[in-house]
């Protein structure tokens, strides 16, 4: 019994680790964009008809990924993003060129369907600032609204007309899929940001298979139920 209790304590401590926030300098390996293998889905939130899907280091960002349903339609704004001249840099720049936004008080809400219950996934929310004091808050819930994770970051970033690296960010969260295989990923309205006060915005979302963590049945035996949450640490690259 003592061994079981120690295991529970260690697991609970793991749940409290902070999220990973990476400033992206480009789409090439070692420049910030380094997704896990085995991508489940990746979507460019700017739902522009006729816009070509862009591949960055083998991750294809579709304008409307079938597994991800975007329920928001407010609009977007375009700001050029000078990440570099390589193919991956150009592709990531195209994915992040459009700030998709939703007017306050509504969040940007993305329904991710078809996840394997009990499987651990890494969610990467990508966004860029347009200069000034910038903040972003993302939240993940299950299909009935139970909050699985809430992440936020505030950064003082340069204007995007300056030299790279501009204010481009990857907010990473790793969590276990609920029993129905549905996770709602939200970018929440924020209170800071040049020209964005009160509005929600984001550019892209990628969902990849993360490391395997304890099965739901194991968690239930430990008294933690069928849902686990942890953070995957990763060094910041600039």
Asked whether residue 91 is assigned to any structural domain, the reply reads yes
Q: What is the CATH number of the domain that holds 138?
A: 2.60.120.380
pLDDT at residue 137, as a whole number: 85
Give pLDDT, residue 105: 80
Within-domain flag for 36:
yes
Is 179 contained in some domain?
yes
Helix H, strand E, coil C: the string for 76-97 is EEECCCCCCCCHHHHHHHHHCC
Prediction pTM value: 0.75
The pLDDT of residue 160:
52
Q: Considering the domain boundaries, does residue 61 fall inside one? A: yes
pLDDT of residue 34: 87
| Structural domain count, the chain | 1
> From the first residue on, what is the mean pLDDT of each consecutive set of 10 residues in the chain (238 residues)?
37 45 86 88 73 86 66 59 84 82 82 93 84 76 94 65 62 94 89 64 89 49 38 41
Is position 100 within any domain? yes
7 in a domain, yes or no? Answer: yes
Position 235 scores a pLDDT of 41
Considering the domain boundaries, does residue 237 fall inside one? no
Quick one: pLDDT at residue 25?
Answer: 84
The β-bridge partners of 108 are: 187
* Domain coverage including residue 146: 2-230
Q: What is the pLDDT of residue 193?
A: 56
Name the phi and psi angles at 8, rounded to 5.
-60, -45
- Considering the domain boundaries, does residue 236 fall inside one? no
């Amino acid at each position: 019994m003592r061994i079981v209790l120690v295991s529970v304590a260690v697991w609970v401590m793991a749940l409290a680790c902070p999220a990973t926030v990476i400033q992206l300098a480009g789409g090439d390996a070692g420049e910030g964009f380094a997704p896990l293998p085995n991508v489940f889905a990746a979507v460019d939130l700017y739902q522009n008809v006729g816009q070509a899907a862009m591949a960055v280091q083998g991750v294809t960002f579709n304008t409307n990924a079938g597994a991800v349903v975007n329920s928001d339609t407010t609009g977007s704004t375009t700001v050029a993003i000078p990440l570099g001249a390589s193919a991956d840099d150009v592709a990531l720049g195209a994915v992040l060129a459009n700030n998709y936004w939703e007017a306050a008080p509504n969040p940007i809400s993305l329904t991710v369907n078809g996840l394997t219950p009990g499987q651990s996934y890494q969610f990467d929310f990508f966004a860029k600032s347009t200069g000034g004091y910038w903040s972003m808050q993302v939240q993940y819930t299950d299909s009935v609204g139970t909050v699985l994770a809430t992440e936020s970051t505030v950064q003082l970033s340069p204007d995007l007309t300056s030299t790279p690296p501009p204010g481009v960010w990857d907010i990473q969260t790793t969590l276990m899929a609920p029993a129905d295989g549905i996770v709602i990923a939200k970018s929440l309205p924020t209170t800071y940001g040049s020209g964005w006060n009160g509005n929600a915005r984001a550019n892209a979302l990628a969902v990849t298979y993360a490391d395997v963590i304890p099965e739901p049945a194991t968690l239930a035996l430990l008294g933690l139920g069928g849902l686990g949450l942890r953070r995957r640490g990763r060094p910041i690259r600039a």
